[in-house]
Chains A and B, each alone.
Chain A
């Protein structure tokens, strides 16, 4: 995948119609994380549960590794009850495995799950400490250097929602991005079925959108190509290669669907012919 010839303007924004046709979304998330200054504060919202982990966990792993490789400070949170567990798994499997220098409280914080769906986003947009007075373990935010003094979402340079449905990326667009369109960059990774609802927001409200396993696989390729692991290459390939591995079964499944559709139509035509012959 050639990232060097990528033109930031050529895909998501202007340029000719044919150039826009060639614009592929995954590169925008890669560039979004690359373009913010090193050491920026980033918010990752794990808005999914184990049912969607097949599609979204590869995206989450790649995004965390990418952010950590750029030295960004990561704040984890979840709008889904089981999202916290997904974030904990990513922290254990990727962040602490490949970036053992990351310290809790100064380099990353786990805020955990808060009930309230979009009301959580609304309140965080204007008064984050009121929504999250402590982190997931019960430590006061004021005792954590990374988030002490953070008043609202403007303190983050990038917000990424890894989203399987409601509440998710759409709520981040409606309540966070609309509150302050220029304050931060919003990107999202989404399941394939939901992406049709999110595409209208791209690229005006959402700078990048990863779509299903294919988007995850392409993003993994970009991240692992630019940020390999010197001491654990095989482990990195395994942990950040799941998206690519799952492309194989997906191909088989899609070919099966096509085959079934063709078979159904053949049966219909055959049935009509038999009926006509009678």
Chain B
């Protein structure tokens, strides 16, 4: 029974404290304390995650599962960066305390940690993000079909925004005078009308719905009605 009652009690108490802290100046610091507790928990949980990472990859290596070499690379990279950061290997000495090794800076490009970040991690991150361009292209080819009225409206809107976001918009319709009765046909004006009025109206509705969903879900958790995240004895 304690296995379920204690977590529910902690959740309910924390939720009520955070709500109270928002409205009551006397309890504002309580909410900040709860948030600090969570940050401490999250920091400790890093150890849990690192342990699991080691366990999974070591098991893959020991059982020689397909792709075990990549697990080895993962572990080597993990320990290398851990060493560079924790031990401040090659850290740039602090001008105010040049004799103290651990006073140095480890995250500039002159140190191994910073070098790895600058020349290995950043390009890899940007590469993964750049892959999105290819996936957008494949999605555009596969999914954007004019099958009915709604999809035709969607495509027309997409074309307007795609053109208006580039120089093509000004090239195609920039010659229309801004004070003429046909100014609404300018692509940049159409884009502003679509994004600031039509799209924003829809976004407000979705945001309100999401906020209500958040309230209802949070209330179910705080009142202990939804206990699906707990283990059962």
Interface residues in B176-192 by Cβ distance below 8 A to A read 178, 183-184, 188-189, 192
Please report which residues of chain B, range 105-162, place their CB below 8 angstroms from some CB of chain A when the two chains form the complex: 105, 107, 117, 121-122, 125-126, 128-129, 133, 136-137, 140-142, 144-147, 155, 158-159, 162
The verdict on A250 contacting chain B, using a C-beta distance below 8 Å, is yes
Let me know if B136 and A257 touch, CB within 8 A. Answer: yes
Q: Give min CB distance, A152 to chain B, whole Å.
A: 13
A135 at the interface (CB under 8 A from B): no
Q: Is the CB of A85 within 8 A of B144?
A: no
The chain B residue sitting closest to A199, CB to CB, is: B200
* Contact between chains at B178 and A254 (CB < 8 Å): no
The reply to whether A251 and B133 contact each other, CB–CB distance below 8 Å, is: no
Interface residues of A (CB under 8 A from B): 18, 20-24, 49-54, 82, 84-85, 115-116, 119, 122-123, 126, 137, 192, 195-197, 199-200, 202, 212, 214, 247, 250-251, 253-258, 260-261, 263-265, 268
Instruction: Sample 15 A-B pairs with CB under 8 A, ordered by A number.
Output: A20-B196, A21-B184, A22-B183, A24-B192, A51-B125, A51-B129, A52-B129, A82-B117, A85-B107, A115-B39, A119-B39, A123-B32, A196-B203, A199-B196, A255-B166
The count of chain B contact residues (Cβ–Cβ below 8 Å) is: 47
A200 and B184 contact, Cβ closer than 8 Å, known pairs A254-B165, A256-B137, A264-B142: no
Question: B10 on the interface (CB 8 Å rule)?
Answer: no
B207 touches A260 (CB 8 A): no
Of the candidates A18, A195, A264, the one whose C-beta lies within 8 Å of that of B144 is: A264
User: B residues within 8 A CB of A196?
Assistant: 195, 199-200, 203
Q: How far is the CA of A199 from the CA of B207 in the complex (A)?
A: 12
CB distance from A126 to the nearest CB of B (A): 7
Question: In the complex the two chains form, is A85's CB within 8 Å of B117's CB?
Answer: yes
Chain B residues within CB distance 8 Å of chain A: 28, 32, 35-36, 39, 105, 107, 117, 121-122, 125-126, 128-129, 133, 136-137, 140-142, 144-147, 155, 158-159, 162-163, 165-168, 178, 183-184, 188-189, 192-193, 195-196, 199-200, 203-204, 207
Would you call B145 and A22 a contact (CB within 8 A)? no
In the complex, are the beta carbons of A253 and B133 less than 8 A apart?
Answer: yes
Q: How far is the CA of A199 from the CA of B195 in the complex (A)?
A: 8
Please name the residue on chain B nearest to A213 by beta carbon.
B165
The one of A123, A137, A265 that contacts B146, using a Cβ cutoff of 8 Å: A265
Number of A-B contacts (CB under 8 A): 109
Chain B contact surface mostly? helix
Given contacts A119-B35, A199-B200, A214-B165, contact A257 B140 (CB under 8 A): yes
- A126–B31 Cα distance when bound, in Å, is 13
Residues of A within 8 A of B136 (CB): 257
**Residues of A contacting B158 in the complex (Cβ-Cβ under 8 angstroms):** 261
User: Who on chain B is nearest to A50 by CB?
Assistant: B122
Complex Cα distance, B144 from A54, in Å, reads 26
Q: How far is the CA of A247 from the CA of B170 in the complex (A)?
A: 13
* Inter-chain contact B35/A23, CB cutoff 8 Å: no
Tell me, in angstroms, the Cα distance from A126 to B28 when the chains sit together.
Answer: 10
Residues in B neighbouring A263, C-beta threshold 8 A: 141
Minimal beta-carbon separation of A268 from chain B (angstroms): 5
